[in-house]
Amino acid sequence: LPSRITDQLALTGQQLKTLQQLINRTIKLDNCYHDKNEDASRHKSSKRFPLKHKSSKRFPSKPSTPFASSSASQTKRSTKIASVLNKEGQLNGDERLRREKEGLCLYCG
């Protein structure tokens, strides 16, 4: 794994009990990293290319094959975090716009 991902895994301190949890978390961190870089480059070039489109080369945030999982084993999100995320675990539109307007990181806010 790239050091940017292993560093983030170490910083969060989450106890991932299964390989699938590690894979899912790694994919989310990688997607966030690429979104952040894409947003930064889009912001820099928005004056020259205002209609730049997002790249479709992303990993899905959920595995394509079903795995046995119980809701009891999944950690519950705090209501504060859950209130700004959609059902896919991404920032909802209003929160994303607020963070962009205030120049905040889309990942850590």
Can you give the pLDDT of all 109 residues of the chain as single tens digits? 888 888 888 887 778 889 998 999 899 988 888 888 877 777 676 655 555 455 555 566 555 555 544 444 344 445 677 777 777 778 888 888 888 888 878 777 6
pLDDT at residue number 70: 44
Q: Is the four-CA dihedral 65, 108, 83, 46 of positive or negative sign? A: negative
Per-domain residue ranges of the chain: 3-44, 78-108
- 78's CB contacts (< 8 A; 6+ apart) are none
Distance CA 2, CA 98 (A): 30
pLDDT at residue number 72: 41
Distance CA 107, CA 109 (A): 6
Distance CA 76, CA 73 (A): 9
Give the relative orientation of helices 3-12 and 19-45 as an angle to the nearest 10 degrees: 110
